[in-house]
Amino acid sequence: DRTASVSGSASTDSDKTPVRVDSQDSQVSDTETITDGHRWPRQNSMSMREWDIPFEELKIGEVIGTGRFGTVYRGCWHGDVAVKVLNMSYLKDEQTLEQFRNEVSTFRKTRHENVILFMGACMQPPKLAIVTSLSKGMTLYTHIHLRKDKFNMNKTTIVAQQISQGMGYLHARGIVHKDLKSKNIFLENGKVVITDFGLFSVTKLCFGNRKNDSLWIPPGWLCYLSPEIIKKLHAHQLHAEELPFSKSSDVYAFGTVWYELLCSEWPFKSQPPEAIIWQVGKGVKQPLANLQASRDVKDILMLCWSFREEDRPDFIRLVNILDKLPKKRLARSPSHPIHLSRSAES
């Protein structure tokens, strides 16, 4: 239960042995040291890591929204933050939890303009939460699908380049996003900020939504899935970790975001899941006949949506390809940088 995981009593250890916090390594020894006058409580099964945030230190505010993993709250921890409280129902066993802790520990190494600032995490069950900076902007999803904002080609290209730069950075750090979609891309004053990378693998695909053993597919999810992933979907699927997410499946998902930016809708719009699964699995792509765009622009879609993983470009190459797209000269003074259209500015 989501509410319970927030309002329930804190599972503080009676064992409050302080541990030494080593900034070089996430693993710390059990030597007694107090850092910055702070007594760090020891975790249940492992030592405190430098990015651990005791749940009691977080002030939880109003709900921002609920997604697959749990609920996102506005919070306060040395200023405004977003707190993603994870639904515990799928993280019961210690092994999954440990896998999750390891995965989260790679987030702390991320420092890039186009990647959300990871501030820390609460890792003591039943309080599992990820703390990031609070994005003041709107998601690309909100811009494109709810507000129906139109981006001109220059702005579309700039947004796509920033996504590629952020994604290229994550990939260079060995982080596969696994859930790249317009809902996980924020625009803040014209700057792209990517969120929710790497969280996907520990989640059960269909938690709380399983009916008569059929696979529950979240709306709007399929069109981001590459053929090799689509082909692995089956009715009894429980764990997303069984799906072959990779850097190239992230590139496929980027192709879909590029399509959304260009067409203001999703590929395979209003087709039933079975039809999408069948087509993508066979290598059939969304037709582009009605898309009024240059050959180069359409080629990017075709490249990213390549059936064979090895035919998809990496994000470094995408940054270059996008850079070579012809830019319309705007009547603007050189001192004014290109901005998103007024309607799309936040």
Q: Shortest Cβ distance from residue 325 to ligand ADP (Å)?
A: 28
The residue with its CB nearest to ligand ADP is 67
The CA distance from 183 to 196, in Å, is 10
The CA distance from 213 to 216, in Å, is 9
Q: Shortest Cβ distance from residue 196 to Mg ion (Å)?
A: 4
- 218 vs 283, beta carbon nearer Mg ion: 218
Q: Does 184 bind Mg ion (CB under 5 A)?
A: yes
Per CB under 6 A, the segment of 45-53, 94-102, 132-140, 278-286 that binds ligand ADP is 132-140
Which 296-335 residues touch Mg ion, going by CB under 5 A? none
Active-site residue identified among 22, 25, 30, 179: 179
The CA distance from 38 to 16, in Å, is 12
Which 183-222 residues touch ligand ADP, going by CB under 6 A? 183-184, 195-196
Overall residue count recorded for the chain in this entry: 346
39 Cα distance to chain centroid: 33
Q: Shortest Cβ distance from residue 58 to ligand ADP (Å)?
A: 14
Dihedral pair phi/psi, residue 80, rounded to 5°: -70, 135
The radius of gyration of the chain from alpha carbons, rounded to an integer in Å, stands at: 21
- 105 vs 135, beta carbon nearer ligand ADP: 135
Catalytic site includes residue 22: no
Positive or negative, the CA dihedral 225, 228, 233, 237 is negative
Q: Does 132 bind ligand ADP (CB under 6 A)?
A: yes
Per CB under 6 A, the segment of 38-46, 129-137, 293-301, 335-343 that binds ligand ADP is 129-137
Candidates 26, 87, 110, 135; binder of ligand ADP (CB under 6 A) is 135
159 Cα distance to chain centroid: 16
Parallel, antiparallel or unpaired: strands 191-194 and 138-139: unpaired
- 69 vs 305, beta carbon nearer Mg ion: 69
Give the per-residue contact string, 128-167, with Mg ion (x = CB under 5 A; - = no): ----------------------------------------
Candidates 18, 43, 64, 341; binder of ligand ADP (CB under 6 A) is 64
Q: Does 260 bind ligand ADP (CB under 6 A)?
A: no
- 105 vs 132, beta carbon nearer ligand ADP: 132
Contact 334, 184 (CB under 8 A): no
Mention every residue, 6+ apart, whose C-beta is less than 8 A from residue 283: 227, 307
Following DSSP, what letter does each residue of 119-187 receive, concatenated? EEEEEETTEEEEEEEPP-SEEHHIIIIIS-----HHHHHHHHHHHHHHHHHHHHTT---S--SGGGEEE
Parallel, antiparallel or unpaired: strands 118-124 and 185-188: unpaired
Q: Of 194, 156, 169, 100, give the one whose Cα is nearest residue 297.
A: 156
The CA distance from 229 to 216, in Å, is 15
Q: Does 105 bind ligand ADP (CB under 6 A)?
A: no
The CA distance from 242 to 236, in Å, is 11
Q: Does 65 bind ligand ADP (CB under 6 A)?
A: yes
Q: Shortest Cβ distance from residue 122 to ligand ADP (Å)?
A: 16
Q: 19-30 b/e with 16+ CB inside 10 Å = b?
A: bebbeeebebee
Q: Shortest Cβ distance from residue 6 to ligand ADP (Å)?
A: 14
Q: Does 196 bind Mg ion (CB under 5 A)?
A: yes
The tokens for 23 are 């900034």
Per CB under 6 A, the segment of 24-32, 134-142, 245-253, 272-280 that binds ligand ADP is 134-142
Footprint of Mg ion (CB under 5 A)? 184, 196
Tell me which residues touch ligand ADP (CB under 6 A): 64-67, 69, 72, 82, 116, 132, 134-135, 139, 183-184, 195-196
What residues are annotated to the active site?
179
